Amino acid sequence: MIKLIGIKKYFKTKLGISHALKGIDLQVSKGEIFGIIGKSGAGKSTLLRTVNLLERPSEGEVILDSVSLTSLKEVELRKQRRNIGMIFQHFNLLSSATVYKNVALPLEFANVDKKEINERVRYLLEVTGLSDKENHYPHQLSGGQKQRVAIARSLASNPKVLLCDEATSALDPETTKSILSLLKEINQKFGVTILLITHEMEVVKSICDRVAVIENGEIIESSSMVEIFSNPKTKVTKALVRSAFHISLPESIEKNLIQFPAEGLHPILKISFVGESANEAIISHLVMKFNLSVSILQAHIDVISNSPIGIMLCQISGSQDQIKLGIDFLSQSNITTEVLGYVSGNIKYTA
């Protein structure tokens, strides 16, 4: 549906050329919700805006539904942009126009006749739950309602793709949830492909099918949701996953971690289960088969893309040989195990 090929973007500044995007290849399939996550300044906003050429890439090609947008003339590009809806962090509604007028705007741009506009706007206001707000002005609405108006507006011209530029970053958690479920609903109801950027893993976790991690203008990791959560490869991704699961060692323990095994030290493991293995009783396996004692420090289970995923931090103690066998056993099964470090004695929790 969307294909980005070798997208580069550089800006000339006083200090020389700064590279915002360093050659990005990305492919988003029809009907999917694709998330791009990264810290601020990573280039995600610039990347999103190259898709509808609000930001023209310095190099590379943007293809939408087998039409190469980058090679289009201005007038043709305008027509193609009607296939791409966009919503923004700060909504960008006309303050001088009512909700109705705001939603009608893209249709007026496309010179659709009044009667058709009326039908379409009424329908979209119904879908987004704003029918009673038709004659309100944006300043009379809450943040969530404003974003709903923006969503209705973005859908007015029946787009194939919806771009979301930090669409929930200005909203509180409760409203974020309702906006995300509206996006999901739209994705399923109208088959709109959604490409969203965010800095919050929570957002990605709750609606995306696939995700790409962007850092310093490059995509450093891109895979399915389950894969990225159960087996993050880069440091940035690991940090993001941690933030979504709220799993991390207390600082006092983290500081005293010893990186190498030795006599009298007990390893702290991070165990990630995905799918079926999340249901297996691996802890009791460790205890019974290898005669180890396992103390769970933290654990979290979630459902991502319909498959259960769990992350657990635990400390194992027992004889060195048995510990090694136990870890080998875990690695052989469908469980990702990572030794975070070693501590002496048992961890005492002081919360």
Binding-site ranges for another protein (CB under 8 A): 52, 54, 78-82, 84-86, 88, 90, 92-97, 105-106, 108-110, 137-139, 153, 157, 163
Judged by phi (left if over 0) then psi (alpha if -120 to 50, else beta), residue 300 lies in beta
Tokens of 48: 């999103």
- Write phi, then psi, for 124 (nearest 5 degrees): -65, -35
Distance in Å, CB of 73 to another protein, minimum: 13
Distance in Å, CB of 49 to another protein, minimum: 8
In terms of CB distance, is 111 or 259 closer to another protein? 111
Distance in Å, CB of 24 to another protein, minimum: 20
In terms of CB distance, is 157 or 315 closer to another protein? 157
In terms of CB distance, is 150 or 292 closer to another protein? 150
In terms of CB distance, is 92 or 320 closer to another protein? 92
Distance in Å, CB of 135 to another protein, minimum: 11
In terms of CB distance, is 74 or 321 closer to another protein? 74
Could you give the CA distance from residue 209 to residue 40 in angstroms, rounded to a whole number? 22
In terms of CB distance, is 90 or 289 closer to another protein? 90
Report H helices in the chain: 44-51, 74-81, 99-109, 114-127, 143-155, 173-190, 201-207, 225-230, 235-245, 251-255, 282-290, 320-332
Distance in Å, CB of 89 to another protein, minimum: 9
Could you give the CA distance from residue 287 to residue 176 in angstroms, rounded to a whole number? 42
Distance in Å, CB of 81 to another protein, minimum: 4
Tokens of 283: 């802890």
Distance in Å, CB of 140 to another protein, minimum: 9
Tokens of 66: 């087998």
Contact (Cβ atoms closer than 8 angstroms) between residue 327 and residue 339: yes
In terms of CB distance, is 84 or 125 closer to another protein? 84
Q: Compute how many other C-beta atoms are within 10 angstroms of the C-beta atom of residue 69.
A: 22
In terms of CB distance, is 163 or 274 closer to another protein? 163
Contact (Cβ atoms closer than 8 angstroms) between residue 60 and residue 7: yes
Contact (Cβ atoms closer than 8 angstroms) between residue 161 and residue 1: yes
**CA-to-CA separations, 280 to 40, 116, 131, 268, 272, in angstroms, rounded:** 39, 57, 49, 20, 12
Distance in Å, CB of 98 to another protein, minimum: 9
Contact (Cβ atoms closer than 8 angstroms) between residue 103 and residue 124: yes
